[in-house]
């Protein structure tokens, strides 16, 4: 019975411990990481609660661990934050109290550029971000002011229109006489257009006469251009003949056989020597592949030892064939 009671008690204790650690883990408390405590002071916490996250560029690096009232400082709110020890804060860091669209609160750390690092227990600069309604009210105020000014100007315009109604009647009466003036203007314009068409016709005839006079001159320019083209073609043919003559001289020297290039083309001495060199290199490579000790030993082997090894290999091959 005592063993069963002990097991039941142990099970209950483990369950309570798991419940405690699990509840605190859901609240944002990490028992396996080291944290540093920093403080900040707000005039109004705006419903900030314990366990609300502390973020850096949207990444959670800690949580709000405690909130208390400072009655000796006009009831300002002291906020204690537990921040991961790997986060380095400077004296230019701001703790910005920010609210989400649905009402959630969090502290956003803006780490400024500074060489002075903070130590655990220091106080961060406090700042409260503007909410959505604050932004809307600030934006709506200038719009409302501009709208009121526009309405005043519109009322002034209406008043001016009512005062100038007589002038508008006079303008409409003058507009009735406008069609007659337009007809007279069109008649005058038609006469001027006819005069302009006659002038253009005379100019066109003069241009045609000028072009007719220029035809012999253009024909002469064409003849000069053809002569220049023939001159360039003759020069090109002369250079081509010189090039062919030089090529024939070169081929004649190759056919004589008294120079290096002709000997390379007609004699096989170079080919025979190259073939013999390749065979010797092939034999050397086979020897190096089969007997690397002859070349790679610390001091190598003498020619007598190499010949002795070769004889042994030949005797071994003959014995294998028998």
Question: What pLDDT, on the 0 to 100 scale, is given for residue 210?
Answer: 79
What three-state secondary structure class fits 258? coil
The phi, psi pair for 82, rounded to 5°, reads: -100, 115
Tell me the C-alpha distance between 241 and 298, whole Å: 69
In the predicted structure, residue 22 carries a pLDDT above the cut 70:
no
Tell me the C-alpha distance between 163 and 169, whole Å: 12
Query: Around Cβ 274, how many Cβ atoms within 10 Å?
Result: 10
* Mean pLDDT value of segment 297-314: 68
CB 87 within 8 A of CB 117: no
In the predicted structure, residue 13 carries a pLDDT above the cut 70:
yes
Better-predicted residue by pLDDT, 25 or 15: 15
For the chain, what is the mean pLDDT? Answer: 76
Question: What pLDDT, on the 0 to 100 scale, is given for residue 34?
Answer: 82
Question: What pLDDT, on the 0 to 100 scale, is given for residue 295?
Answer: 62
User: Poorest-confidence range of 71-80, 128-137, 156-165, 276-285?
Assistant: 128-137
This prediction's pTM: 0.37
Question: What pLDDT, on the 0 to 100 scale, is given for residue 77?
Answer: 92
In the predicted structure, residue 80 carries a pLDDT above the cut 90:
yes
Q: Is 41 left (phi over 0), alpha (psi -120 to 50) or beta?
A: beta
* Mean pLDDT value of segment 259-279: 72
The string of pLDDT tens digits covering residues 164-222 is 766 767 776 766 667 667 777 777 777 777 777 777 777 777 777 877 777 777 776 67
Tell me the C-alpha distance between 150 and 62, whole Å: 51
Which residues, 6 or more positions from 113, have their beta carbon under 8 angstroms from its beta carbon?
A: 90, 92
* Mean pLDDT value of segment 129-144: 58
Question: What pLDDT, on the 0 to 100 scale, is given for residue 258?
Answer: 66
In the predicted structure, residue 292 carries a pLDDT above the cut 70:
no
Which residues, 6 or more positions from 124, have their beta carbon under 8 angstroms from its beta carbon?
A: 38, 39, 40, 89, 93, 94, 95, 109, 118
CB 34 within 8 A of CB 75: no
Decide the pairing of beta strands 53-56 and 105-110.
parallel
Helices H, strands E: what count in the chain?
8, 7
Any idea where the domains of the chain sit in the sequence? Answer: 1-32, 34-134, 157-254, 269-306
Helix (H) or strand (E) holding 154: helix 132-163
Question: What pLDDT, on the 0 to 100 scale, is given for residue 133?
Answer: 46
The string of pLDDT tens digits covering residues 227-263 is 666 766 777 778 888 888 888 877 777 676 666 666 6
Helix (H) or strand (E) holding 127: strand 125-128
CB 90 within 8 A of CB 118: yes
Question: What pLDDT, on the 0 to 100 scale, is given for residue 132?
Answer: 45
Band the pLDDT of 102: cuts 50, 70, 90. Answer: low
* Mean pLDDT value of segment 73-83: 92
* Mean pLDDT value of segment 275-282: 82
Better-predicted residue by pLDDT, 74 or 321: 74
* Mean pLDDT value of segment 296-320: 70
Question: What pLDDT, on the 0 to 100 scale, is given for residue 55?
Answer: 92
Determine the angle formed by the axes of helices 178-256 and 165-176, rounding to 10 degrees.
80
**Among candidates 144, 57, 160, 141, which has minimal Cα distance to 106?**
57
Question: What pLDDT, on the 0 to 100 scale, is given for residue 78?
Answer: 93
């Amino acid at each position: 019975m005592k063993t069963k009671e002990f097991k039941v008690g142990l099970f209950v204790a483990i369950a309570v411990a798991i419940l405690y650690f699990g509840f605190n883990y859901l609240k944002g408390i990490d028992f396996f990481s080291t944290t540093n405590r920093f403080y900040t002071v707000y005039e109004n916490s705006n419903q900030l609660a314990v366990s609300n996250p502390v973020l850096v560029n949207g990444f959670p690096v800690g949580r709000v661990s405690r909130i208390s009232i400072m009655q000796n400082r006009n009831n300002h709110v002291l906020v204690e934050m537990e921040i991961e020890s790997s986060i380095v804060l400077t004296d230019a860091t701001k703790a910005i109290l920010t609210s989400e669209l649905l009402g959630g609160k969090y502290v956003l750390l803006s780490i400024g550029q500074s060489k002075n690092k903070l130590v655990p227990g220091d106080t961060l600069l406090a700042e409260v971000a503007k909410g959505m309604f604050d932004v809307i009210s600030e934006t709506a105020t200038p719009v409302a002011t501009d709208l009121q000014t526009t309405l005043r100007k519109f009322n002034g315009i209406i008043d001016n229109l009512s005062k100038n109604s007589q002038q508008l009647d006079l303008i409409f009466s003058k507009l009735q006489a406008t069609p007659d003036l337009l007809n007279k203007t069109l008649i005058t314009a038609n006469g001027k257009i006819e005069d302009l068409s006659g002038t253009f016709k005379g100019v066109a005839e003069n241009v045609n006469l000028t072009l007719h006079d220029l035809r012999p001159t253009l024909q002469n320019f064409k003849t000069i251009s053809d002569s220049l083209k023939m001159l360039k073609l003759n020069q090109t043919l002369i250079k081509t003949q010189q090039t062919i003559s030089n090529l024939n001289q070169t081929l004649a020297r190759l056919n004589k056989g008294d120079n290096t290039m002709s000997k390379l083309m007609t004699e096989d001495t170079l080919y025979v020597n190259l073939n013999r060199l390749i065979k010797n290199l092939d034999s050397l490579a086979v020897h190096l592949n089969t007997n690397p000790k002859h070349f790679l030993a610390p001091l190598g082997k003498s020619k007598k030892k190499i010949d002795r090894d070769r004889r042994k290999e030949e005797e071994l091959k003959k014995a294998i064939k028998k």
